[in-house]
Amino acid sequence: MKKVIYTLSFAALAATASAQVVSSTKIYVSEGAILSVGQDFENKGELINKGDLHLRQNLTNEGDIRSEGNVTFDGYTKQEVKGTQNVQLAKATIENDVELSTPMIIGQEINYNQGVVSSSETNPLVFAAAANHYGASDYSHSVGTVTKVEADQFEFPLGDGSNYRGFKANSQKRSNLSAAYVSQNPTEFSGQLANGVESINHQEYWVLKSDNEEEAADVKLINTYEDNVAYLKRSTWTLAENRTLNKATGLDKGVRFTSGRGKFVQKDIGVWPNPTQGAFNLKLAGMNDTDDVMIDVTNQDGRVVLSMEGRVAELRKVYELPSSLVTTELTVRVINGDDVLTEKLILNR
């Protein structure tokens, strides 16, 4: 049978007039023991937990917490975790609403049973490389910012406090990923859809960020009508190729994404008049106006006689070939991402 250790049995713990327990010394909860703290608890010393620690009120950490056992948040009103020092726990069980005013780092696991963990970008809930969670549901999950160290097929346990809206992400370079969920219509930022996007989710969006600017993260949406990933870049919703977000999509700074429905649009280019006496128009079809493209015109020897680069919207225009060119066959090449499109152009002078 487990031994129960009551808070008041410790001479080192002093209840203040404001019903707060303050410890400035070492507290040791041995394996198999239970310590239940029914008042606000401020740790100014050293707390070593190898057993089962139950917190019923707020926790303030100004000292050192080393918890190899389990910490259960099971108060009757919303609990706050705060202090100048991070709170590092091997295991935690959520039985009540908890608000983080300092970062909380989980080394092994969180069990979501009842209640919501609220965090922020400055005070996130952090899962260590080997940590995971269990039981996330509509009744118990995280609201705010969740960070996963070396994210490997990790399901972010996110929601809005009433609905669980987690998603899975895999860091290709095993970097840290941070995510948040927002129950808000993403078209409030922009209603502009890129070529190839038929529609996007109007109910919600997520934000994903990497601490490595060279990172690429594979995203898998859960319980959405569409599993395509649409991300916002330059005020346009675009489908992520292979549901992968990277620096090009804004992952290094934080990218908004939601679910979307795609439509097949084939990229195509064209030139006219053809033959030409020197001036020609360039058609760029199936590309977004904000896409960056490179264009060059080469002669039969492969020498570049004309080149330009910029956004699609800026490069749909009339071009004038150099006056020094004589009658010949030219090749117009357009590079759009991984796609290379070519068209023959006859110069007749």
Amino acid at 334: V
Position 106 pLDDT exceeds 70: yes
pLDDT in tens, 135-162: 999 999 999 999 999 999 999 999 999 9
For the entire predicted model, the pTM comes to 0.77
Range from 67-71, 101-105, 167-171, 345-349 carrying the lowest mean pLDDT: 345-349
Note whether 122 and 131 are within 8 A (CB). Answer: no
pLDDT in tens, 175-187: 999 999 999 999 9
Q: Tell which CATH architecture fits domain 268-347.
A: Sandwich (2.60)
> What pLDDT is attached to residue 18?
53
Percentage of the residues of the chain whose pLDDT score is greater than 90: 84
Position 10 pLDDT exceeds 60: no
Average pLDDT, the chain: 92
Position 289 pLDDT exceeds 90: no
**For 40-58, what is the mean pLDDT?**
96
φ, ψ at 143 (rounded to 5°): -120, 135
pLDDT band for 9, please (50, 70, 90 cuts).
very low
In angstroms, the CA 47 to CA 194 distance is 55
> What pLDDT is attached to residue 263?
82
In angstroms, the CA 48 to CA 69 distance is 9
For 132-157, b/e burial (b = at least 16 CB within 10 A) is ebeebeeebbbbbbbbbbebeebebb
Domain boundaries defined on the chain = 3-262, 268-347
**For 45-50, what is the mean pLDDT?**
96
